[in-house]
Amino acid sequence: MNTRRMVVLVMCTSLAFAMVGCKKKEGKDDKKGAAGEAGKAGGGAEKLTKSALEELLKESIPGFEQQPGPKVMEMAGIAMVTAYYKGTKGNDKDMTAFAQVRMFGCGHCPDLTAASFKEEQGLFERLMLSTVHKDNMAVIFDVGEDNIAGKKVVTIYQLSFHVSEDGKSKSSSHAFSIYHHNGKNMLHVMITPRAVSGFKSADSLDELKALFTRDEMKAAATTFMESLGAKVF
């Protein structure tokens, strides 16, 4: 997927959660649970603004370096930003975490449950998954729930390894994501493995899982929840 298409996709999925894809619940349900939590910093009690997002981008994330190019945008009155961070230290296989972080205000956020997110047709991870992995009968696309840094989150773990029929090409997908919102603002962190330097690929499913494990990706996502999450919410 080229960079231009990815940028458009990021904008569209953010707007989907902010406006169309986030269905308002009637009655008392729209005031309970995560949607009823009070934010305490970074505009958590109110919808994020461009200036608030610009300040959040100045935050230092332990063990990560922000990549060049984040730009705060505003569409249909919704402020949003996508920023990329790369881990500064590698594991014993010289792999580290690469984080795609999205922060935006949402209109009527979906319930913070696995069931609700499974119903989202515009789910970012689902749209990003290439056809070869969508068609892979062995693909793992697990939507669940967890508690990270004291906050309930929806998690998505995806794992797929594909070898072409002629055996000449291999393709892989391995990522761990978290979503959290307080009824006003959404934080979405997607972690993928990345070589500390250069490029490294796996030759098998077992190697793919071992290069940078699910636990390592979850630990990386936790870092963002503990740092940026503490400011947004």
Report the distance separating Cα 189 and Cα 223, nearest Å: 10
Chain position carrying tokens 């309970």: 32
**What pLDDT score does 133 carry?**
92
Dig out the tokens for 178 from the structure: 């978290």
pLDDT, one tens digit per residue, over 28-58 is 344 333 333 333 334 445 889 999 999 999 9
**What pLDDT score does 14 carry?**
52
Residue 121: pLDDT band with limits 50, 70, 90: confident
Lowest average pLDDT, out of 1-10, 12-21, 45-54, 70-79, goes to: 1-10
Asked whether the predicted pLDDT for residue 190 surpasses 80, the reply is yes
**What pLDDT score does 17 carry?**
57
* Closest to 123 (Cα-Cα) out of 133, 110, 132, 136: 110
Dig out the tokens for 92 from the structure: 């014993």
pLDDT, one tens digit per residue, over 154-177 is 999 999 999 988 888 999 999 999
Do 122 and 18 touch, CB atoms closer than 8 A?
no
Asked whether the predicted pLDDT for residue 2 surpasses 50, the reply is no
Asked whether the predicted pLDDT for residue 67 surpasses 90, the reply is yes
Asked whether the predicted pLDDT for residue 180 surpasses 90, the reply is yes
Higher pLDDT, 149 or 34: 149
Dig out the tokens for 203 from the structure: 């030759």
pLDDT, one tens digit per residue, over 68-89 is 999 999 988 889 999 999 999 9
Q: Residues of the chain with pLDDT > 70: what percent?
A: 81
Lowest average pLDDT, out of 11-15, 134-138, 184-188, 198-202, goes to: 11-15
Report the distance separating Cα 148 and Cα 226, nearest Å: 8
How does the average pLDDT of the chain come out, rounded? 84
Report the distance separating Cα 85 and Cα 137, nearest Å: 32
> In the predicted model, what is the mean pLDDT of residues 93-122?
91
**What pLDDT score does 75 carry?**
87
First to last CA, the chain: 32
**What pLDDT score does 231 carry?**
92
* Closest to 185 (Cα-Cα) out of 230, 143, 232: 232
Report the distance separating Cα 118 and Cα 55, nearest Å: 32
**Which residues make Cβ contacts (< 8 Å) with residue 26, sequence separation at least 6?**
none
* Closest to 71 (Cα-Cα) out of 88, 87, 60, 84: 84
